[in-house]
């Protein structure tokens, strides 16, 4: 398949959210213009985004809400369940363990890990925290697909390596360090402080 831009994938996620709302309202069809208005983009953008994956609409009418929703689910890979582990049970990690937004989207937490013996064995949101040293073995057994890294920067690369060894093929990294990974492992960096810095920049350089 043609390469799809990151920005396109983000918008597809957005469209899916809006479609769920429209679905809940009982609307049967929706036009690219309506979807665009809801998502702060343009109708041409919506049509172009969808056209990468096929022709789902009816000319003169628009898109069938339930059908487009189903198509987007399939495109985004949300028709199956994804098994997620979280490594690092600090505040952010523990908060994510109980984040409802994950579960709603078919992401299932199958393991929580921490290197601190004081935390190992404790229960967080119904999961027993396991020792980081058991990660490779346990996570492999659980068939983990995705790992969320909420460990200190100094431990991030090691944790990532262990996750990869356990068969994880995608990482969401909250640690503020660049990770080195095999080419076939997907990576998404999230950095709260950097987001705030973006806002500080916007406030400092208005316009």
Partner DNA sequence: TTATGTGAACGCATTCACAGCC
Partner DNA sequence: GGCTGTGAATGCGTTCACATAA
Contact positions vs DNA (CB under 7 A): 3, 5, 7-8, 31-33, 41-45, 47-48, 50-51, 55-63
> Of the ranges 42-50, 61-69, 157-165, 183-191, which one interacts with a second copy (CB under 8 A)?
183-191
Using DSSP, state whether 186 is helix, strand or coil.
strand
Query: Rounded to the nearest whole angstrom, what is the least distance from the CB of residue 3 to DNA in the complex?
Result: 7
Query: Rounded to the nearest whole angstrom, what is the least distance from the CB of residue 4 to a second copy in the complex?
Result: 7
Residues facing 131 on adjacent strands: 114
The two structure tokens encoding residue 52: 């990468």
Q: How far is the C-alpha of 58 from the C-alpha of 64, rounded, in Å?
A: 8
Q: Does residue 101 touch a second copy according to CB under 8 A?
A: yes
Which of a second copy, DNA, none sits in contact with 45, Cβ below 5 to 8 A by type?
DNA
Q: Does residue 14 touch a second copy according to CB under 8 A?
A: yes
Which phi and psi (to 5°) does residue 106 adopt? 90, 15
Nearer to DNA, 153 or 186 (CB): 186
CB neighbourhood size of 203 (10 A): 8
User: x/- contact string, 80-99, with a second copy (CB under 8 A)?
Assistant: --x-x------xx-xxx-xx
Query: Rounded to the nearest whole angstrom, what is the least distance from the CB of residue 6 to DNA in the complex?
Result: 7
CB neighbourhood size of 129 (10 A): 22
Q: Does residue 126 touch a second copy according to CB under 8 A?
A: no
Q: CA separation (Å) from 169 to 37, 55, 183, 191?
A: 35, 31, 10, 20
Long-range contacts of 35-39 (CB under 8 A, 24+ apart): 35/63, 39/11, 39/14, 39/15
Binding site residues, a second copy, CB under 8 A: 1, 3-4, 6, 9-10, 12-14, 17, 38-40, 75-78, 82, 84, 91-92, 94-96, 98-99, 101-102, 104-105, 107, 145-146, 169-172, 176, 178, 184, 186, 188, 190-207
């Amino acid at each position: 398949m043609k390469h799809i831009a990151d920005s396109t994938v983000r918008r597809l996620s957005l469209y899916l959210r809006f479609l769920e709302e429209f679905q809940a309202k009982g609307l049967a069809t929706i036009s690219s213009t309506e979807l665009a208005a809801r998502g702060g983009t343009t109708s041409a953008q919506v049509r172009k985004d969808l056209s990468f994956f096929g022709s789902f609409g009816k000319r003169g009418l628009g898109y069938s809400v339930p059908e487009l929703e189903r198509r987007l689910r399939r495109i985004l890979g949300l028709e199956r369940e994804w098994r997620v582990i979280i490594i690092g049970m600090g505040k952010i990690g523990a908060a994510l363990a109980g984040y409802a937004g994950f579960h709603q989207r078919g992401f299932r937490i199958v393991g929580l890990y921490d290197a601190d013996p004081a935390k190992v064995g404790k229960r967080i949101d119904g999961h027993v925290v396991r020792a980081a040293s058991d990660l490779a073995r346990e996570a492999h057994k659980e068939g983990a697909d995705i790992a969320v890294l909420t460990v200190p920067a100094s431990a991030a690369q090691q944790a990532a390596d262990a996750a990869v060894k356990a068969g994880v093929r995608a990482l969401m990294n909250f640690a503020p360090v660049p990770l080195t990974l095999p080419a076939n492992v997907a990576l998404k960096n999230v950095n709260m402080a950097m987001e705030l810095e973006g806002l500080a920049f916007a406030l400092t350089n208005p316009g």
